[in-house]
Structure 1
Amino acid sequence: MTSRVYLVSPAMSASTRQARFDDGGSIDQGAVARARAAAGALPPAARVLTSPAVRCRQTAAALGLDGPAVPELAGLDVGRWRGRTLDEVGAAEPEAVGRWLTDPVSAPHGGESVRDLCGRLANWLTDMARTDGRTLAVVEPDVVRAVVVRALGMPDAAFWRLDVPPLTVTELSGRSGRWNLRLGRPPAPRDAD
């Protein structure tokens, strides 16, 4: 049995542009138009899922996708840093930000550590490995990073070394407990692969 998981990162938002920790903001109108233009370009899937984040649900809707918001697919909980920019937090708490960016078990914001996020997504990925067919999930970039880290057996510290552009697809295919990875392609018709 082969399982395929397509992870779609959300379209651009003002928060993304400002390097702001998720504040529940909407995607930009231009981003909505780009997502709508890509609607129908994704492969058909047996299951469509989304992160509970507003920008993920809006991106899914603009892509013409309908599926439940799954709590396990929520982005990294950054606790009291939510809604603030990285520059603001870095100016107020430079040591805490430094620890957070270098130590995967650190959660100085009172939320979730990178290791905890990777563990949560490892459990979800294990469930997906037992699921035949295609799953398409619109999720935060940090969820994509965590899934890739776990799928490839990378150290948690590699999390921050992975870039996930807006409105791109990361594809995993797996069987027998092994995953193969195809990173960050824009949504395109299948014959354009």
Structure 2
Amino acid sequence: MTSRVTFVSPAMNPSLRRPRFDDGATSLDDIGMTHARAAAGVLPPTALVVRSPSVRCRETAEALELGAGEPSVELAGLDVGRWRGLSLDEVGGAEPAAVGQWLADPASAPHGGESVRDLCLRVGRWLDGAARREGRTVAVVEPDVVRAVVVHVLDAPAAAFWRVDVPPLTATAISGRSGRWNLGLGRPLHARAAGDDG
């Protein structure tokens, strides 16, 4: 039995355009919506569509003509606690030591939310379940979920999380059986995205 999961990062929104901790309620901007609609129909037919619970992931799934998708708390973005909705500059100015600790230690959660390590473990549990599901799944998920997928599939240390860049509206595919995954990284969903800086 071979399982295939394609993880699609959301199209551009103001939180992605500027370094800001998304609050989960921010919509796609006009450019992001245009790019997502242009990519509709690019993904192969799928048996299951799931997504992070955020507005931008739901809107991306709908613009790609995948429907609203099934929201999954297991695939939610990293919970950044009290930093939610703030820019990285705001947090760095107010709590520079906490930001430094958070970026250096994947087990830390100075914001009162979830650590990077815990996110990687949560996403890994979801992947373990996906390995038992035959067929194709599309998951429209936050960029940090894609990073956690890469860390899990490569059996990399959680510290590698920050070394993975996930551009908007790209597909990262995994396929495998018995929990052993092969990885295909960051394919743009349409030709325009390949040369576009957002």
TM range (shorter): over 0.9
Matched with 1:171 is: 173
Matched with 1:184 is: 186
RMSD of the TM alignment (CA)?
1.0
- CA deviation digits over 1:60-94, x for unaligned, max 9? 01101122111111000000000000111011111
Distance apart, 1:171 and its partner CA = 0.3
Aligned-partner SS, 1:95: helix
Distance apart, 1:188 and its partner CA = 4.5
Could you tell me how far apart the structure 2 residues matched to 1:20 and 1:153 are? 28
Could you tell me how far apart the structure 2 residues matched to 1:119 and 1:38 are? 31
Alignment partner of 1:162 is 2:147: no
Matched with 1:100 is: 102
TM-score, scaled relative to structure 2: 0.93
- 1:107-118 correspondence to structure 2 within 5 Å: 107-118=109-120
- CA deviation digits over 1:135-193, x for unaligned, max 9? 1000000000001101110000000000000000000011132111000001149xxxx
Could you tell me how far apart the structure 2 residues matched to 1:89 and 1:150 are? 28
Aligned partner of 1:74 among 73, 76, 82: 76
- CA deviation digits over 1:86-132, x for unaligned, max 9? 11101111110001001000000000000100000010000000000
Matched with 2:35 is: 34
Q: What one-letter code is carried by the residue in structure 1 that aligns with 2:83?
A: W
Matched with 2:9 is: 9
The answer (yes or no) to whether the contact 2:132–2:178 under 8 Å persists in 1 is no
Matched with 2:195 is: none
The answer (yes or no) to whether the contact 2:102–2:109 under 8 Å persists in 1 is yes
Matched with 2:194 is: none
The answer (yes or no) to whether the contact 1:13–1:26 under 8 Å persists in 2 is yes
The answer (yes or no) to whether the contact 1:42–1:188 under 8 Å persists in 2 is no
Could you tell me how far apart the structure 1 residues matched to 2:190 and 2:169 are? 11
Aligned-partner SS, 1:115: helix
Could you tell me how far apart the structure 2 residues matched to 1:176 and 1:125 are? 11
Residue-pair matches, total: 189
Could you tell me how far apart the structure 2 residues matched to 1:177 and 1:141 are? 22
Matched with 2:59 is: 58
Matched with 1:87 is: 89
Could you tell me how far apart the structure 2 residues matched to 1:121 and 1:166 are? 19
* Structure 2: gaps spanning 5 or more residues: 192-198
The answer (yes or no) to whether the contact 1:78–1:112 under 8 Å persists in 2 is yes
Matched with 1:134 is: 136
